Structure 1
Amino acid sequence: MLTITTASSISPPLSPPPAPPITTRQPPCQPINRRHLLLTSLTIAVSSSFSLVDSSIPVASGRGLLQMPPPRLTNRYFLVRAGESEFESFGIINTNPVAKTSVDSGLSERGKKQTVRAALDLKTLEACERNCWIWPSITQRAYQAAEIIAAVNGVSRSYIVPEYSFLDARGLGAYEGKKLEAVSEVYESDSISSTIRPPPIDDGTPNESVSDVFVRVTQLMSILETQYSEDTVIIVSPDSDNLSILQAGLVGLDLRRHRDLSFAPGEVRYVDPSSIPTYKQPKSAVYKCLNPPNCN
């Protein structure tokens, strides 16, 4: 007997029961610590950069505060005193930094002519033949001098770098407003000790010794020697003392004798480390001043 089997009559094969859903216990969400992530990424970056450094390559030594006198200079330097100021034309001492940007502290008509001659002297010396940097004091007469120097020598104004404090005129304290002839008393004290300061005054004018000025011009030279290399730098000062004290330090001259290197208004001088003036015995080796600056 033929038996016909239909699909409906066939029992489906038994299949394994479905696996229960897998549930994992998730930890509670933690807030992202962005500071931690930043520090971690920085640490990784720094570590990676150090690992890329070849220890066989010598590390360049940094240049810090310049030692005076320096064993060598990286750059070529010209020292320029700005021409006569309006106050100097009236024979008045004016060193208060409060008024250094005032129009009254600018160049006199004679001072402008002196500065043009200085600019022409620099051109003759080919100071800016291969370009140069001009570093003037922000004092009005020094900055005006820098602009004249730049114009005569074809230097872009972008190469004028104003200096805001290291090249201020030497503060003469109680001598402020006196006749220029009174400066001789300050220089008499300078020749005895580089640490003697002019008498103080309460109008904001500093009273600086030779040593005080020496510290800031040394700081200036340290900046220039670090910032530039194999360049020409023209330093423009509003007075003589900044430059005479700087040059004395550069050539190793006793600072008490900086007056021997004094600059006339509009004078230009190339820094020659080998030019040390003939030595003169300082007055302090002969007698002592008991009542500076009156040392008769």
Structure 2
Amino acid sequence: MGGDVCFTTSLKVRLPSSRNSVAKRTRVAWTCSISRRDFMAGSGALALTLLTPNKPAEARGLVLLPLRSPLENRYYFMRAGESKYDALGVIKTNPVEKLNVENGLTEKGHYQAVYAADKLEKNNIGPFGDREFWIWTGTDAKASETAEILMTRLNMRRENLVPEYSYLDCRGMGVYEGVETTKAVPIINSIDEKDHYLRMDLGEDGTPNESIHDVFLRMRQLISKTETMYQACDIVFVSPDSYTLSVLECALRNEELRHYGHYSYKPGELRAVVPTLVDPMLNYRKTSAA
């Protein structure tokens, strides 16, 4: 056969009849001549296109710790201002107590929230900054009131204030619910240092009993959620207690969870969290050096 062979294709199309009775049905003939060389080249290109996989979209999901790449957003952790229970030195973590008036801010707690808002503004962090700004807050009375003060002082849009109904709850203290902080905290710390999977006993009133690892799991879910939803934003987490924030910060800084106490938060404390990235080649270098 010769190098160039001409293929002829004839296509006949029958068009639907017009509503106009005068119009006649029309047939259209289409003829195209293609050389054998062009036909083979076109077929090869089509096959290559069909067999080449599309580049997958960047996967986002659960944040894996320790981090090997930067987070999408910048984070600021804040413990809610002082509540009346905080001032009394009594542990109150039962979700039933969330909206209790005694769980609201004291006058000191109010000023702590105002101070935090002014600190954010001074550092150009907020709706007037160069990044979109969000506040995610627990729904405890003191956390909600703290977030409301931040929103008002920073002149934020209300839709940028997001209530979080479970991840930002207090750590459930089980049988230590209602116990004085000075008596309970040393015991709880000793439990956590032994094993971050250990839980205290469940409270008789139904107060949840959470281990440090339990807290870590839900806080990782939270930051995975915000990392999926936002890009290049400034995000403030307002939590009613220290445990939720210090455990997550400890994990983001690539520390063992039992060292979370190094990152504890006082009522009203606001902190920028700078994660520590792990060098993926570190283990390889250590092995090579050995």
TM-score, structure 1 as length reference = 0.72
Matches within 5 A, 1:263-282: 263-274=265-276
CA-CA distance at 1:263 after TM superposition: 0.6
- Structure whose alpha-carbon radius of gyration is higher: 1
CA-CA distance at 1:54 after TM superposition: 12
Tell me, yes or no, if the aligned pair for 1:170 and 1:239 is still in contact at 8 Å: yes
Q: Which residue of 2 aligns with 1:64?
A: 61
CA-CA distance at 1:63 after TM superposition: 0.9
Q: Give the secondary structure class of the aligned counterpart of 1:132.
A: strand
CA-CA distance at 1:204 after TM superposition: 1.7
Q: Give the secondary structure class of the aligned counterpart of 1:235.
A: strand
Specify which of 94, 97, 103 is matched with residue 96 of structure 1.
Answer: 94
Q: Which residue of 2 aligns with 1:250?
A: 252
Tell me, yes or no, if the aligned pair for 1:98 and 1:204 is still in contact at 8 Å: no
Specify which of 187, 190, 193 is matched with residue 191 of structure 1.
Answer: 193
Q: Which residue of 2 aligns with 1:167?
A: 168
Q: Give the secondary structure class of the aligned counterpart of 2:135.
A: strand
* Dislocated runs of 4+, deviation >3 Å: 53-57
Q: Give the secondary structure class of the aligned counterpart of 1:252.
A: coil
Q: CA RMSD in A?
A: 1.9
Instruction: Give 1 or 2: higher strand fraction.
Output: 2
**In structure 2, what residue type is equivalent to 1:211?**
H
CA-CA distance at 1:242 after TM superposition: 0.4
Tell me, yes or no, if the aligned pair for 2:252 and 2:276 is still in contact at 8 Å: no
CA distance in structure 1 between the partners assigned to 2:173 and 2:53 by the alignment: 54
Tell me, yes or no, if the aligned pair for 1:137 and 1:238 is still in contact at 8 Å: yes
> Against the structure 1 CA distance between its residues 124 and 184, is the aligned structure 2 distance closer, same or farther, given a 3 Å change threshold?
farther
CA-CA distance at 1:183 after TM superposition: 1.4
Q: Which residue of 2 aligns with 1:44?
A: none
Tell me, yes or no, if the aligned pair for 2:67 and 2:276 is still in contact at 8 Å: no
Tell me, yes or no, if the aligned pair for 2:82 and 2:106 is still in contact at 8 Å: yes
TM-superposition CA deviations, 1:189-242 (whole Å, max 9, x none): 112210111222121210111000000000001100001111111100000000
TM-score, structure 2 as length reference = 0.73
CA distance in structure 2 between the partners assigned to 1:261 and 1:275 by the alignment: 18
Provide structure 2 residue ranges, at least 5 long, that are not aligned to the other structure.
1-49, 279-290
Matches within 5 A, 1:232-251: 232-251=234-253
CA distance in structure 2 between the partners assigned to 1:185 and 1:124 by the alignment: 40
CA-CA distance at 1:55 after TM superposition: 6.8
CA distance in structure 2 between the partners assigned to 1:211 and 1:100 by the alignment: 23
TM-superposition CA deviations, 1:57-97 (whole Å, max 9, x none): 52313311111122220001100111111111111110001
Q: Which residue of 2 aligns with 1:293?
A: none
Specify which of 78, 84, 87 is matched with residue 86 of structure 1.
Answer: 84
Residue 138 (structure 1) aligned with residue 139 (structure 2): yes
Q: Give the secondary structure class of the aligned counterpart of 1:213.
A: helix
CA distance in structure 2 between the partners assigned to 1:155 and 1:166 by the alignment: 23
The number of aligned residues is: 224
Q: Give the secondary structure class of the aligned counterpart of 2:65.
A: coil
CA distance in structure 2 between the partners assigned to 1:65 and 1:94 by the alignment: 30
Q: Give the secondary structure class of the aligned counterpart of 1:191.
A: helix
> Against the structure 1 CA distance between its residues 274 and 54, is the aligned structure 2 distance closer, same or farther, given a 3 Å change threshold?
same
**In structure 2, what residue type is equivalent to 1:75?**
N
CA-CA distance at 1:56 after TM superposition: 6.7
